[in-house]
Amino acid sequence: MTNSPVHFCTVAPDGPRFPLGNAGSILDSALAEGVAVPFSCKRGECGSCRAQVLEGSFEQIAPPSEAAYQVADGELLMCQCRATTDLRLHFSHWRTPARPAARYAAKIVSLDAVAPTVTRLRVEIQSAELFQCMPGQHAQLVLDDDARRSFSIANLPAETGDANQLEFHVRRIPGGAFTDIQLPELRPGDLLELDGPYGACVWQEPCEPIDHLVLLATGTGFAGVSAILQTALKSGTFRTVTLYWGCASADDCYAAEWLDELAAAHEGFCWTAVLSSAAFAGSEARSAASPRRIQDAALAAGHDWAHALVHACGNPAMIRDTRDRLKAAGLPGERFLSEAFLPAAHAQSGAAPYIVRHPWEKVGTAFSFDGILNARRRSMEALAQIAALMAPGITTGEAIAVADRHLRTMGAAYNWHPTYVRFGPDTQCTSRQQVDRHRKLRADDVFTIDLGPVWDGYEGDYGDTFVMGADPDPDHQRCSQAARDIFEQTQQAWKQGLSGSALYDFADGLAHGHGCSLVRETAGHRVSDFPHALYGKHRLAEADFVPGDGIWVLEIQVRDLTRPIGAFFEDVLLRTADGVGA
């Protein structure tokens, strides 16, 4: 008997290569080999494991269901297909996790004032092993009180004479514990401690033809794109490379001379200083009449956004506005890569690496609490807007399509779990139960929406119940309010130290007081930097420990004791109401 040939799958551009089994799916083979790939539901419904097929052929394991995620031409779902030849795949919506961070001792090499409020800090890692990072990553300086300050790595360590030298651009913050108090006291030869590298907004060689690279930075966010700029010019990948650098004044453009030299040496590169306080005269590579915001300058330049890749680094307001406007101008959503930063006073919750207190609570190297909070905020906004689009007569299937289209317009590249919409009697169903996709929403109905979009690499899970009608059904109102009230009381019990499993016992006791029963099969789950399934698909109701802050979703689903209706509410467990961890 002739053995079937062993096929292999390669993850582009420079990811792992692994053998493909004959019986299972491509996803099964990847997980069996310990290869990190994006996935979640494993039922072909969420789209998390979709991949672009660059080379090779495949076949469906089974016909797609009515709820199946619709892939584009040239894509497959890893969980639903097996290979018939060698494959080369690319994930446009996900990047392989970076090297784990570590603690290093670092000796100060130099401190140079490059602008009135900016110091260029160079340090040398005190290690026999080479410090390895990807262009665009950052490190965290560890202060005396164990507080941390994040700074982008502005150089390419592997390209310098000493691969262990790192360069940071540090802007003085008035009253800042580090920049205003400790930094002025530092001298060459002093020792610091740093953790790193961190960050997922990094350079990777594109797998598809892209003509233009556009870099946007505000202030010392320039350091976050500096290494990407150097790598891109060295690679020769793009026909044009354009940088927009937003600064308060000409004096803040501390790398102007160096950028002019790069522009003279590379025909396809130009840069523009976008000043908020005054015109900037000088090199032809810059525009003296630039708009005052970098996104305005970029849009005014008329780039071919459909064939561009964008890296942006700077304040969150710029990141959000730029993303929305460039997508509206034709930039594909997956080609906008960003790194937002905040002064330490406004980002304490995410200042230190997340402390993993239990094996079920693992996170990726790029994880930040602020990322979870931002994803939560955006999911809450999306849910309110999607609920307003639900009109009498719409079917469940149509409602799911409407919700997913709206999530795409808001900037969610994909979902980590399928969108669930349930009308009337189907509000009793769990996520694993089939609903009637042809059921129509009535004018006096009750309905639930459960969203699981991914925002900038973080899972944002949020769900609620809504009641239709000018004179709402009292039972609909009671049920929907019960889910919210039980959630709030159960979250308060968590703050008092209950374990995950005890939380659901507590919620079960509350449900009967509202004339409902708790649906124990809906048992809560993890969220994280996408995909949390790489770290485990554990259920909150099975956790025999006190869950950590900001990475567990408490799901409350109830069914009325007498009528065929239900209600649902879910949110991330947070220590404080405003989402800042205690």
Q: List per-residue pLDDT tens for the chain, 582 residues long.
A: 446 678 999 998 777 899 997 768 999 999 888 888 888 888 888 888 999 999 999 999 988 888 888 888 999 999 999 999 999 999 877 777 666 678 899 999 999 999 999 999 999 999 888 888 889 888 889 887 777 788 999 998 866 656 789 999 999 988 888 888 889 999 999 999 998 887 767 887 776 789 999 999 999 999 999 999 999 999 999 999 999 999 988 889 999 999 999 999 999 999 999 998 654 444 444 444 445 789 999 999 999 999 999 999 988 788 888 988 998 999 987 788 887 665 544 444 334 556 778 999 998 866 878 889 989 999 999 999 999 999 999 999 999 999 999 998 888 878 999 999 999 999 999 998 999 999 999 999 999 999 999 988 899 999 999 999 999 999 999 999 999 999 999 999 999 999 999 999 999 999 999 999 999 999 999 999 899 998 888 999 999 999 999 999 999 999 999 999 999 999 999 987 444 332
Identity of the residue numbered 301: A
Angle at alpha carbon of residue 517, lines to 512 and 522, rounded to 5°: 135
**CATH topology (fold) of 367-572:** Creatine Amidinohydrolase (3.90.230)
SS3 124: strand
CB 12 within 8 A of CB 54: yes
Tokens in use for 445?
A: 């109905």
> Residues spanned by CATH 2.40.30.10 within the chain?
102-198
Task: Report the alpha-carbon distance of residue 241 to residue 310 in Å, rounded.
Answer: 10
Tokens in use for 215?
A: 């870099």
> Residues spanned by CATH 3.40.50.80 within the chain?
212-346
User: HSE of 476 in the Cβ direction (CA atoms, 13 Å)?
Assistant: 21
CATH architecture for residues 102-198: Beta Barrel (2.40)
Nearest to 526 by CA among 358, 353, 361, 412: 361
Q: Estimate the share of the chain in helix, then strand, then coil, as percent rounded to the nearest 5.
A: 30, 25, 45
Any idea what DSSP says for residue 546? P
Task: Report the alpha-carbon distance of residue 237 to residue 234 in Å, rounded.
Answer: 8
Give this prediction's pTM: 0.69
Task: Report the alpha-carbon distance of residue 225 to residue 137 in Å, rounded.
Answer: 9
> Which residues face 374 on adjacent strands?
none
CATH architecture for residues 212-346: 3-Layer(aba) Sandwich (3.40)
Q: Are strands 240-247 and 212-218 parallel, antiparallel or unpaired?
A: parallel
| 302: region left, alpha or beta (phi > 0 left; psi from -120 to 50 alpha) | left
Give the per-residue pLDDT at 289.
43
Task: Report the length, in residues, of the chain.
Answer: 582
> Residues spanned by CATH 3.10.20.30 within the chain?
7-90
SS3 268: coil
Give the per-residue pLDDT at 193.
93
Strands (E), 330-407: 336-340
CATH architecture for residues 7-90: Roll (3.10)
Handedness of CA 183, 188, 194, 200 (dihedral sign): positive
Buried (b) or exposed (e) across 316-350, using 16+ Cβ within 10 A?
Answer: eebbbebbeebbeeebbbebbbbbbbeebeebebb
CB 171 within 8 A of CB 183: no
CB 442 within 8 A of CB 463: no
Angle at alpha carbon of residue 524, lines to 523 and 530, rounded to 5°: 140
Q: Which residues contact 345 (CB under 8 A, 6 or more apart)?
A: 173, 176
- Element at 505 (helix H, strand E): helix 500-512
Give the per-residue pLDDT at 306.
94
SS3 184: helix
> Residues spanned by CATH 3.90.230.10 within the chain?
367-572
Q: What angle separates helix 369-387 from helix 396-410, to the nearest 10 degrees?
A: 130
CB 348 within 8 A of CB 256: no
